[in-house]
Amino acid sequence: MGHVQGSRAWSQYKSFTAQIDTQALARSLETVSVLKLSSVTLGRITEGMPSSLSEAGISSVESDASVLAARLALDAARAAVLDRHP
């Protein structure tokens, strides 16, 4: 980009909040706004919102058929990459 070492130019236009749904892009899914999710660290979260899932919530997510299928697909992809690039 033509910047010199130690230049502060980047700080003038960098985004402090991710505005792209990279997870959806990586999975060829429809993207949605992630501003609300990304802004937790910027102090924009609504007061009283939970910051983590309960044990029952975690169990529910981990046993969901689509999550299990995604995990299997990810494991297969990881194995294929590691097989090709040990």
Residues 6+ apart with CB under 8 A from 34: 18, 19, 20, 21
| This prediction's pTM | 0.42
| pLDDT value at residue 66 | 95
Please, what's the largest Cα pairwise distance for the chain? 52
pLDDT digits (tens, 9 = 90+) for 4-49: 666 666 666 666 556 677 788 888 888 877 666 655 555 555 667 6
Q: Give Cα 52 distance to the centre of its chain.
A: 15
pLDDT digits (tens, 9 = 90+) for 43-65: 555 667 676 788 998 899 999 99
| pLDDT value at residue 46 | 64
Assess contact for 63 and 71: CB atoms under 8 A.
no
